[in-house]
Amino acid sequence: MMYGPTGSGKSHTMFGCSRKQGIVYRALRDILGEEERDDGVDNAAFRLNLFVQVAVLEIYNEEIYDLLSVGNSNGVGAGVSLPKGATPKAKLEVMGRKAKNATYIYGNEAGKISKEVAKIEKRRVVKSTLCNERSSRSHCMIILDVPPVGGRLLLVDMAGSENIEQAGQTGLEAKMQTAKINQGNVALKRVVESIANGDSHVPFRDSKLTMLLQDSFEDDKSKILMILCASPDPKEMHKTIATLEYGAKAKCIVRVAHMPTPRDKLNTEDSSLLRSRIVAMNQFIYKLQIDNKLKEKERDKAMRDLLHKEEELLGLRLKLELIEARGTAEREEEINCKVMERTQVLIIELQKMEETMHYQQEELSFLRRKLHEIEAKNHKENEDAFQGMDGGKLLKRMSEMCSGDQGMEKSMELDMGDQNSNCDVKEIKEDISHATTDIHLGTHLNSGYSSLEDEIDFDMPKITDRVCLSTVFERDDEGEDEEIMEEPEIDKEVLEELSDSFATLSKDQFKENVKDPTSARKTRIQNIFRLCGNHRELAQQVNLPVSPMKKLENTNIHLSPLALSKDSNAKVNHAVESVVQAKPGKNTIPNVRLTDNMVFSLTPPLASVCFKENEDSKENTTCNGAESANLTEVYVKWEASKESSGNLIRKLMVKKNSSLSDLRNLIEITLLEDNRNQPFAFLLLADPSGTPVVKDKEAEVPVSKLPFCNTQHNSHLACLRHTKSNVQRQNHIPFSPLENMLPLHVMKAQVEEAL
C-alpha cells in the first residue's frame, strides 16, 4: 500500500518506467519466475505449473470500476469526462469484502502481465494540478491471485492527500473530488488507528477502500506493507513529516490471533475443497493453453514450410516456362532456318530456269527469224521456179546432196535448198511417163559426182516415178515377217498408185503446190527421201565381189562423167550391154560377169565367188560351162510343193571350194533378176532328216556337199525351200540399208536408157 502526498512518486513506485521496473513487475517476477523464455515453455512458472490471475480495480469517488472490462458511459464518475478516445469502464458492486464480477487476466509471464497492467492503469482518472501534472484522482487496487498456491497479493496505489489551496483546486467539483480522495485516506487512517488502539469497532465500511482491505487487516495470516512516499523537495518537508507520523501509527498495529468459530471451520473446509478444484481446473486450463501454443507453433512452422514449398514450386514453374519458351523459340528458329535454306535453293533454281528459258527464247526467236528468212527466200525461189523451171538443177541439187557421205541431214538441207531443187521436182513430175533407171541415178549419186547432167545427156524429168518411189515405203518392224511374202504385190500396188498420181499431176496442180509452200515443201521432202532410200537400197541389194574403183578400171566400167572420157564411155556401154545380153530366160542360165555391172562395183566383194577378173574385159564377158577346173556347175531348183512343181531356176558356175553362203549370194542375185526375190533355205537331199541348212551354218557347208546332178560329178543340184523370212531381217535396225524391191531387169533397162 502506497501512501504519501500528491506528486511524491506513488504511481511511479507502483508501475515504474521504461528504465526501472515498478513493484508490480517485481512482484510478478518473484511469483512466476526469474525470466521467461521466448517459447514460454521452459520457465520456472511452467515447471511449477504456476500462473496468476489479475484484476485491476479503480476506486473513484467511492465507486469501484473494473479497468479490464468495457462498460457504458454511465459507469464513469460524475463530473469527470472521459478523455478523447477513452472507453467507458464497468462499475462493480461490492459483495462482502470482494468486488463482484471482476474481470481477470491470466498468465505466467511477469513481463507481459506487468505491461498489460501498466497499459490498463492509464485508464485511471487523472488531472493536472499544481502539485502534479498527471495527478491521480482515484485509488487503484491490483489483485494478484495465485490459484496453484491459494495466495493473494493486493497492491494499492492510493490517491495522494493534498491541500486544496496548495493543489490549486477551484470549483465545487474539484473541491468535492479532493474531499473524496481525502475521505478514503482518512478512513484508512482511522482503521489503522482503531486497529492500533485495539478498539472493538474498526470502521472498515467508512470507505470502499477499507471495505476491500478488511480481510487483509483482520486475517492474522495476512501481512500489510505500507510504503511511504516522500518528496525530496524541502518545501514538502511538512508533508513528509506528516507521512512519517502516519506510518509510525500504522507500525504500531499489533494483531491478535483469531480464534476460529465453527462457521469459520466450515467455511475453511469448503473453501479448501473449492480451492483444490479451482487449482485443478486452472492446471487443466493451463495445460490446454500450453498445448494450444505448441499446436500454434507447429501450425506456424507448417505454414512457413508450405509458403517455402509454394515459393519453390513457383520458381520451378517459372523455370519450366522459360525452358518451354526457349525450346519453342529454338524450334521456331530451326524451322525458320530450314525454310530460309529451302527458299534460297528454290530461288537459285528459279534463276537458273529463268536463264535457261531466256536463252531458249532467244534461240527460238533466232530460229524463227531464220525460218522466216528461209521461207521468204523459198517463196521467192518458188515463184522464180514457176516462171522458168529447169529440171537439170534438181539433179545438180541432188548430186550435191548425195556427194560424199551426205545422209539424212543433207536431204533435209535439200528441203531448205535453193530454187533449183524445186525446178527438179517439177521436172520429175512433168516427165513422169519417161522411164529411166534409178540405178543410173543412184550410182552417180553414190559416186560423189555432182555434175552428172553435164556428162549424161538426159534430164531428171526422165526419171521414172518408180525410180523415185520404189523404196520410200519402209515397213515397221512389227508384222514384218508376215508382210514379206506379200511385198511384191503391195509394192506394185503402191507404185502404181503413186505412178498414177504423179502421172495425173498436171502442171496447173503443181503450180498450186508451188503457191502453197507447205505442200510443195512436203512433196520435195518425200521425193528426196525416196531417192535417197532407193539409192541405199540398191547399194545393199547388190553384193558382188568387186573392188570399187580398181575393178571398175580393170573392167573398163567407169561411170564418172567427169573422169571418163568418151572412150571410156564406150567401154561402159559395152559392159552394160554385156550384162543386158546375158539376161537369160526363165530357165536359162546366164553366164554373166557381174563385176561388169556398175552397181556391183559399189558393193563389197564376195571372196568366195569364183569369178576371176580377166585382164581383158572384152574377152571375158561370158563364161560357158566348166571352163576352169576350179569351177563347178550348180543347178538350182525349187523344192516341189503344192504351190510349185519344183521348176529349175538356172545353172550357176561357182568355185569348187565355195560354200553355200557364196552360192546363196549368186542365187539371190539371180532371183532378183527374175523378180522373184524370195527367202529360201538349202536342202541337203543326202540328209535323211530333210532338214534345211541353217543360214548361219551355210558358210561352213561347201558346195561339194550338195548332191550330184544326174550322176555327173562336176555338177551339183541345189534344192531350195521357200521360207517365210530371211534370218537377216531379224536384226534389222532403223536406217539400215533397205532391200530393193525393184526387179533387176528394170534397173538394167533403166541404166541402159540412161546411158
Ligand X SMILES: Nc1ncnc2c1ncn2[C@@H]1O[C@H](COP(=O)(O)OP(=O)(O)OP(=O)(O)O)[C@@H](O)[C@H]1O
Contacts to ligand X by CB under 6 A: 4, 6-12, 132, 135-136, 159-160, 229
Packing angle of the helix pair 237-251, 172-197 (nearest 10 deg): 40
Nearer to ligand X, 8 or 53 (CB): 8
Closest approach of ligand X to the CB of residue 158, in Å = 8
Nearer to ligand X, 209 or 754 (CB): 209
Q: Which residues contact 110 (CB under 8 A, 6 or more apart)?
A: 25, 28, 29, 31, 32, 33, 36
Residue whose C-alpha cell is 507502483: 14
Q: Is 79 annotated as a binding residue?
A: no
Q: Is 6 annotated as a binding residue?
A: yes
Nearer to ligand X, 195 or 229 (CB): 229
Q: Which helix (H) or strand (E) holds 387?
A: helix 262-387
Q: Is 7 annotated as a binding residue?
A: yes
Query: Is there a contact between 699 and 659 (Cβ–Cβ < 8 Å)?
Result: yes
Closest approach of ligand X to the CB of residue 10, in Å = 4
Dist. CA 215–CA 99, nearest whole Å: 13
Of 421, 489, 433, 488, nearest in space to 466 by CA: 433
Nearer to ligand X, 135 or 422 (CB): 135
Q: Is 147 annotated as a binding residue?
A: no
Query: Is there a contact between 718 and 637 (Cβ–Cβ < 8 Å)?
Result: yes
DSSP 505-529: --HHHHHHHHHSHHHHHHHHHHHHH
Q: Is 479 annotated as a binding residue?
A: no
What's the chain's Rg over C-alpha atoms? 79
10 Å Cβ neighbour count for 596?
A: 27
SS (H, E, C) 593-616: CHHHCCCHHHCCCCCCCCCCCCCC
Nearer to ligand X, 7 or 692 (CB): 7
Nearer to ligand X, 10 or 29 (CB): 10
Closest approach of ligand X to the CB of residue 63, in Å = 18
Q: Is 11 annotated as a binding residue?
A: yes
Q: Is 8 annotated as a binding residue?
A: yes
DSSP 686-708: T-TT-PBPPGGGGGGSBGGGSPE
Closest approach of ligand X to the CB of residue 230, in Å = 10
Nearer to ligand X, 121 or 673 (CB): 121
Q: Is 443 annotated as a binding residue?
A: no
Q: What nine digits make up the cell of 125? A: 482518472
Closest approach of ligand X to the CB of residue 204, in Å = 23
Dist. CA 101–CA 117, nearest whole Å: 18
Nearer to ligand X, 182 or 451 (CB): 182
Closest approach of ligand X to the CB of residue 139, in Å = 10
Q: What nine digits make up the cell of 458? A: 538426159
- The bridge status of strand 712-722 relative to strand 631-638 is parallel
Query: Is there a contact between 67 and 121 (Cβ–Cβ < 8 Å)?
Result: yes
Closest approach of ligand X to the CB of residue 167, in Å = 9
Region class of 77: left (phi > 0), else alpha (psi between -120 and 50), else beta:
beta
Closest approach of ligand X to the CB of residue 239, in Å = 11
Residues in binding site: 4-11
Residues in binding site for ATP: 4-11
